């Protein structure tokens, strides 16, 4: 069962780039890495997903090194509205089998 480790909290200022790293040392060959964002009193919301190297979408980038034992979510030019908890999810390899594992989340606080 892949387990993940993330920093408990991070602070940043508006306009800065934020990088949140997740460790998943025992990731399985067919596991994917997914990041979610959660605001208070809401369910988590999908941000980005990847298997290896780099993935970029309109809101974030995901960097995964060759050994896949960690991943980094990069948020460019954060704003106050990016203040939220960010979860790293590893598991659910294609074809099923592995169970889902959420990290404990990183509370990102963005200030002016």
Kindly tell me which residue out of 44, 65, 77, 108 binds other proteins, with binding defined by CB under 8 A. Answer: 44
Kindly tell me which residue out of 22, 32, 68, 71 binds other proteins, with binding defined by CB under 8 A. Answer: 32
Tell me the two tokens of residue 5. Answer: 């480790």
CB 14 within 8 A of CB 79: yes
* Min dist. Cβ of residue 40 to other proteins (A): 11
Site track for other proteins across 74-103, x = CB under 8 A: -------------x---xxxxxx--xxxxx
Sheet architecture: strand order including 61-64: 18-23, 70-75, 61-64, 53-56
């Amino acid at each position: 069962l892949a387990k993940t480790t993330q920093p408990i909290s991070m602070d940043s200022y508006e306009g800065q780039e934020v990088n949140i790293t997740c460790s998943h040392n025992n990731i399985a060959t067919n596991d994917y890495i997914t990041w979610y964002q959660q605001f208070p009193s809401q369910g988590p919301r999908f941000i980005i997903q990847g298997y290896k190297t780099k993935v970029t979408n309109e809101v974030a980038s995901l960097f995964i090194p060759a050994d896949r034992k960690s991943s980094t979510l990069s948020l460019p030019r954060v704003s106050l509205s990016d203040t939220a908890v960010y979860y790293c999810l590893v598991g659910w390899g294609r074809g099923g089998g592995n169970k889902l594992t959420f990290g404990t989340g990183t509370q990102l606080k963005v200030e002016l």
